[in-house]
Structure 1
Amino acid sequence: MRRVLAAAAAFVLLSAGACSEGGDGAAAEAGAPTTVRLGFSAWPGWFPWQVAQEQGLFAKNGVTVDLTYFDSYTDSLTALSTGNLDANSQTLNDTLSSVSGGAQQTIVLVNDNSTGNDQIIARPGIDTVADLKGRTVAVEQGTVDHYLLLLALQKAGLSEAEVTVKPLLTDAAAAAFVAGQVDAVGAFAPFTTTALGLAGSKAIATSADFPGAIPDHLVFDAEFVKAHPKEVQAMVDTWFDTVAWINDNRDAAIAIMAKKGGVSDADYKTYDAGTTIFTHEQNLAAFTPGQTPANLDFQARSIAKFLVDAKLVDEAPPLDGLLDPTFVKAATP
């Protein structure tokens, strides 16, 4: 889940030709109406797409969408990188990893920032990040939660070498933690709920401690954006309509999203503060170039450095053309 997939992205250059022949999406005639193949997976900032589908908001904006839910977030990354999706809901980390492997992708919208729903959770007796020295932490290597762990260690004056990182997929990492196999775990909602099921466990660091470090996005195949700007605009417009509908119909929206996430309505409500869904104004601010964690270009440079330093990619991914604010600027929510 929410996993960097540089290896899969690397073979996009080999598969692109095969995927473009007779396919949909970016392969369709430029300017001709086309169905948008959109992927999403288990994260509170992406479940609103399910609301959009069930409430007919895609149709309201004149776009036909083939919405696919992925139990495995990794599979959604692969699908976009190999031409089996036109757009996907994914993190900035993962987008940069795919781009470093040769994928041509464009970020057109900020869905949300993680403001607490990514957590480092520790067993009883470990009260601070500094207490992790010499301990074992399960985390999905290369993910935003690995990134969060490194940020937290750095803030506490520790290096990654001073802890033992046990690489596991996020669901398996949470299960290993509850089973007592590791001392701490890096996880995101809804798997934080699993991890906190261990009696006495608690979060010792969260994404709320590092504002702006974990943004989530609507990411398109770059060629699709060039060929079908009307559909891209309709998708961005649908997002803002969906956010408005959720705000006006909170209980009904939570019921839809909780059902898709496989949790109770009560549990889903606990995720509210930990995922900040971005408004139109927040999107405009994020796409504005700057030198603070609130600016996407700043975060892209910071995460690119992390990917290189963690040896997850060989060299920093190119950032030219990665961020396209055109559609957010044109939206009129």
Structure 2
Amino acid sequence: MKKKLVSMLLLAAMLAMVVAGCGGNKSAEKASQVGEKKPIVIAYTPWTGYGALFVAKEKGMFKNRGVEVELQSIEGVGDRKQALVAGKIQAMAASLDVSVSAAGEGVPMKFVWAFDSSNGADGLIVKKSKGIEKIADLKGKEIAFHRGSASHFLLSTLLEQNGLNDGDIKAVDMKASEAASAFMAGKVDAAITWEPHLGKAKAAGETVLATTKDTPGLIADILAVREDLAANNPETVQAIVAALAEATDYMNKNPEDTNKILAAAFKMKPEEVAADIQTVKFYDLKENLEFYGTKEKPGAIYDVGKRAGEFYVKLKLLAQAPDLNKYIDSTFITKVK
């Protein structure tokens, strides 16, 4: 009986040790998870307008604020949206119109920072050999562009201004970089793309028929973050926005170093970056505050966003335009010191 009692006590002690060990492991694992901060992944499409992201990362402006940021190139509009919904990325740098279309599809996010507006950086290139001298001459021509993107938004606006619509052209759907390549290879009559492709086409003797200089304010680029990130980790979003504000100031004050950083990021020459930047209007903090405006006096972001929503509804890519008040969030820019 005594031996049996001792055996039972030993067994109980061993079980207690195992349970304690398991609990300890779980506690340690939990502590490790809490202490381990995963990087914030921001997707972008190759474009110098997003330069503040690369300057902030290169100069340690994110890290100095306690945030680890990973930049991931995703050119496809649909791919970026899907990645954001799936939680594979926590934010995306995209044109305002694309972000509005994502909002209309129910992607939960907040627009927290404006990078820039295109001032000649996006445009329409046409083959000289095709006799295209004005927008009206595009009727029946093959035009390469990325459907449902800022390029599409620009093209439709240009067509509409000249009495045409999407049905009057032969659309060839492909990404902006692919559109430029197809154009240079002579596979299409025209293409909507951006710098440095516009400059390369012009240097090759082709015609830049129109650019965003002809449609001021139409294409602006913003940072959209997941709604749950903004709600559950506002300090992280605040740090990112503050870093972008600092980076934009740095870019304006240090153009030569900025050109080198962006040249390395986009595999370009510094002088090519310098030429690209001439066609972009970067928004600093003051200009962000003006672009967003206030509740009493909404800024241009609301007007451009509304036009974008109407555009996507017209294309039947959206059933209805989103309520921009649910997505445009000026909270973070107003708190930057």
Fold agreement, TM-score > 0.5? yes
Q: Does 1:87 align with 2:91?
A: yes
The Cα shift of 1:253 comes to 1.3
CA–CA separation in structure 2 for the residues paired with 1:293 and 1:328: 15
SS in 2 for 1:270: helix
Q: CA, structure 1 residues 173+33, in 2 after alignment: closer, same or farther (shift >3 Å)? A: closer
Change over 3 Å in CA distance of 1:73–1:238 after alignment to 2? farther
Corresponding residue for 1:239?
244
Task: Tell me which residue corresponds to 1:200.
Answer: 205
Partner of 1:185: 191
Percent of aligned pairs with the same residue? 26
Q: Structure 2 CA distance, aligned partners of 1:140 and 1:133?
A: 18
Determine whether 1:69 maps to 2:72.
yes
Q: Partner of 1:3 in structure 2?
A: none
Are the aligned partners of 1:63 and 1:235 in contact in 2 as well (CA < 8 Å)?
Answer: no
Contact kept in structure 1, 2:44 and 2:75, CA below 8 Å: no
Q: Distance in 1 between matches of 2:40 and 2:235?
A: 11
Q: Which runs of 5+ in 2 are unaligned?
A: 1-32
**Length-normalised TM-score, structure 2:** 0.82
The farther-off stretch of 179-188 and 122-131 is 122-131
CA distance in 1: counterparts of 2:200 and 2:283, whole angstroms: 26
Q: CA deviation at 1:292?
A: 11
Q: Is the 8 A contact 1:52 1:242 kept in 2?
A: yes
SS of alignment partner, residue 159 of structure 2: helix
Distance 2:58 2:142 in 1: 43
Task: Please name the residue that 1:103 is paired with.
Answer: 107
Post-superposition offset of 1:288: 1.5
SS in 2 for 1:152: helix
Aligned partner of 1:72: which letter?
A: E
Shift, 1:182, TM fit: 1.5
8 Å contact kept, 1:93–1:303: yes
Cα deviation for residue 35 of structure 1 reads 4.3
Identify unmatched segments of 5+ residues in structure 1. Answer: 1-27
Deviation of the 1:213 alpha carbon: 1.0
Change beyond 3 A, Cα 1:256–1:176: same
Deviation, structure 1 residue 231: 1.3
Q: 2:61 aligns with which of 39, 57, 61?
A: 57
Please report how far the alpha carbon of residue 97 of structure 1 lies from its aligned counterpart in structure 2 after TM superposition.
2.0
RMSD: 2.4
Q: What is the alpha-carbon distance in structure 2 between the residues aligned to residue 128 and residue 291 of structure 1? A: 42
- Contact residue 249 and residue 284 of structure 2 kept, 8 A: no
Single out whichever of 322-331 and 76-85 deviates more from structure 2. 76-85
For residues 12-161 of structure 1, the aligned pairs below 5 Å read 35-60=39-64, 62-70=65-73, 72-74=75-77, 75-124=79-128, 125-161=131-167
Match of 2:267 in 1: 262
How many angstroms does 1:291 deviate by? 12
Tell me the distance in 2 between the aligned counterparts of 1:118 and 1:190.
Answer: 9
Secondary structure of 1:97's aligned partner: helix
User: TM-score w.r.t. structure 1 length?
Assistant: 0.83
Asked if the contact 1:291/1:298 (under 8 Å) is kept, the reply is: no
| CA distance in structure 2 between the partners assigned to 1:66 and 1:225 by the alignment | 15
| Partner amino acid, structure 1, of 2:211 | T
Shift of 1:171: 2.0
The structure carrying a bigger helix percent of its residues is 2
- The answer as to 2:172 corresponding to 1:166 is yes
Indicate how the Cα distance of structure 1 residues 325 and 71 shifts in structure 2: closer, same or farther if over 3 A, else same: closer
Q: Distance in 1 between matches of 2:252 and 2:67?
A: 24
Counterpart of 1:301 in structure 2 is 306
Mapped to 2, the partners of 1:301 and 1:291 lie a distance apart of 17
Give the corresponding residue for 2:23.
Answer: none
Matched, 1:252 2:257: yes
Letter in 2 for 1:76: R
In structure 1, how many angstroms separate the alpha carbons of the residues matched to 2:165 and 2:235?
47
